Amino acid sequence: MSSLSTATEPIVPIYLVTCFLLLSFIGIIGNLTIVIVTLRSKPLHTRCCRLIGIMAFFNFIVCVYVAQLRIMMLFGVYNIFNTTCFYLSIYGIFAMNMQSVLGLFIGLDRWYNVSFPVRYSKIPLMSYIIGFSICVIASLFVTFSKYIFLAEEIIITVCIPVTAFYQTSLRIWLCFNFVIAVIVIFVYGWTHIKCRMLRNSNLHIKTAESVNRILKSLIVVIAFYVSTWFLAMASLFVSEVLNLQGDPVYYIRRWSGWLVICNSSLHVFIYFWRTPDYR
């Protein structure tokens, strides 16, 4: 049996594929713009903005990956081995893992900046290199867990991230991203509380205005994160834990796909809206 076959009738409706492609192209252009602006604008050469630029690069890769999967659907590429799907998805899954852990990295960076502003200015560059290296190692481990925990090869109808994995490796991937998403919410929430405390205790007008801007940006970031990436990972994780089958899994995976691509492609509008330097 061939590991790659085509279907005569589209399994995924064309209009859904087209909408995904549109969001992917918006994300490709938007995230690439963030990367270019970060490289060329000196005011954005701060630690946090560089981390945002790196995360935008991985979001760019995720958008390319999502576009690739939808182009495969347009050409009727269905019913392939899960191993084949995994080979076609390695770079995209790794990028998804990286943008997930970088979200936590940026959250911790913001928390430390607000909590210990003097110490923050003295953090050595090596600390960031080590932190980034840990992100890469963790993402690689989760990405290639499929080979660590071997499973049988099966035919899958549609190639998406949750079908590229199987059994133990799928649970590891979902658990990894779900736990990180929960931690990110706690980190951003605590940073939000620290900003409120700092704003209420500081009498200096300029400092209070600066903290207030950070506070408003955090509200937007947390709300967007919870309504997209966290909700997607939480629903997929719960469906796997409850071992749901049939239509519920189908609809959960479909809507989770929408949330994932929105998270990767629409972040750019938040940066342009909240930060004048990106404009």
CATH at 117: 1.20.1070.10
Question: Is 117 domain-assigned?
Answer: yes
Contact in structure between 79 and 274 (CB atoms under 8 Å):
no
Total domain count for the chain? 1
For the chain, give the percent of residues with pLDDT over 90: 42
Question: Quick one: average pLDDT of 126-144?
Answer: 94
Task: Give the model confidence (pLDDT) of 145-196 as tens digits.
Answer: 888 776 677 888 899 999 888 888 889 999 999 999 999 999 888 887 887 7
pLDDT for 3 equals 47
Question: Quick one: average pLDDT of 235-244?
Answer: 87
**Confidence band (pLDDT; 50, 70, 90) for 7?**
very low
Average pLDDT score, the chain:
84
Question: Is 104 domain-assigned?
Answer: yes
User: Which helix or strand (DSSP H or E) is residue 6 part of?
Assistant: strand 5-6
pLDDT for 190 equals 87
User: Which helix or strand (DSSP H or E) is residue 18 part of?
Assistant: helix 14-40
Question: Is 2 domain-assigned?
Answer: no
Task: Give the model confidence (pLDDT) of 95-108 as tens digits.
Answer: 999 999 999 998 89
> Which has the closest alpha carbon to 182: 82, 103, 126?
103
Question: Is 56 domain-assigned?
Answer: yes
In 137-261, DSSP assigns E strands to: 155-156
By residue count, the chain amounts to 279
In 53-176, DSSP assigns E strands to: 77-78, 80-81, 155-156
Question: Is 8 domain-assigned?
Answer: no
Domain that holds residue 259: 14-278
